[in-house]
Structure 1
Amino acid sequence: MLVIESWVVNDNSAVPVSSEMVLEALQSRFDSGQLETWLTSSSGRSLAFVTNTERAMVMLLEGEDVPGKHAVDPGAQGSSDGFILSNGQDDKYPNEDTVPIREAFRLVRQIVDTGS
């Protein structure tokens, strides 16, 4: 039996987002200056999206005590800052640990659509 995982944006909304709607939700938050977005799945997984408007950290956490996985850009040089978290913290990441914003949007949509 195939179980479809649903995702919600952690903004006090209980309404699941589809793979098509998640990009609109990210763009809306992005446009309003919210550069950090967390999504939670019906199976308890978490998906983090943090951007500096050019690059993004995309991280998938399987559970509280399970190490997460994040998207990488092998061979990318340098680092980028301006990853503003909801608590005001300004993070800086090596570019190889982030991906260009368009790729980040594609990855989030894929995870919400397929679970991987």
Structure 2
Amino acid sequence: MINDTDPGPVSSALVTAALRSRLTHGQLETWLSSSSGRLLGFVTNTERAMVMLFDEGDDPGEHAVDPDAAGSSDGFVLRNGQNDEYPDEDTVPIHEALRLVEQIVGTGCWPADAHWVADR
């Protein structure tokens, strides 16, 4: 489920459309939670996104990476108005981020070909 909207479940088939709709309305930060307590974070500047997966509230988690990227990008605006900048290697292009989120929502796991690192 998307934490700040309808409390009902969001399927993998609908999550991409839900995220795109939120982006259209200027919502660059989205948190999804599962019934098992896992959290999936998605923060974007509309070109790149940070995708984070946590097992529970105090878990340092893991996040998608782009090992060949260089530089950094800003414009990752959080719900509280904070504007973050991240190294591009710690974010992925938006189309890849949407693919990752769809897979994680559908299976609970990163795609086999995804690049990610554990922050634990």
TM-score by shorter chain over 0.5: yes
TM-score, length of structure 1 as denominator length: 0.92
Counterpart CA distance in 1 for 2:69 and 2:5 is 36
Residues 1:29 and 2:43 aligned together: no
Gaps of at least 5 residues in structure 1 are 1-7
Residues 1:38 and 2:31 aligned together: yes
One of 71, 89, 95 as aligned partner of 2:88 = 95
Counterpart CA distance in 1 for 2:95 and 2:24 is 15
One of 56, 68, 77 as aligned partner of 1:63 = 56
1:75 Cα offset (Å): 2.0
Counterpart CA distance in 1 for 2:98 and 2:60 is 22
1:65 Cα offset (Å): 2.1
Counterpart CA distance in 1 for 2:22 and 2:69 is 27
Gaps of at least 5 residues in structure 2 are 110-120
Counterpart CA distance in 2 for 1:42 and 1:100 is 28
Percent of aligned positions that are identical: 68
Counterpart CA distance in 2 for 1:45 and 1:82 is 26
Counterpart CA distance in 1 for 2:41 and 2:35 is 15
Alignment partner, residue 106 of structure 2? 113
Please state whether the residue corresponding to 1:74 is helix, strand or coil.
coil
Structure 1 consecutive aligned stretches of length 4 or more whose deviation exceeds 4 Å: none
1:11 Cα offset (Å): 1.6
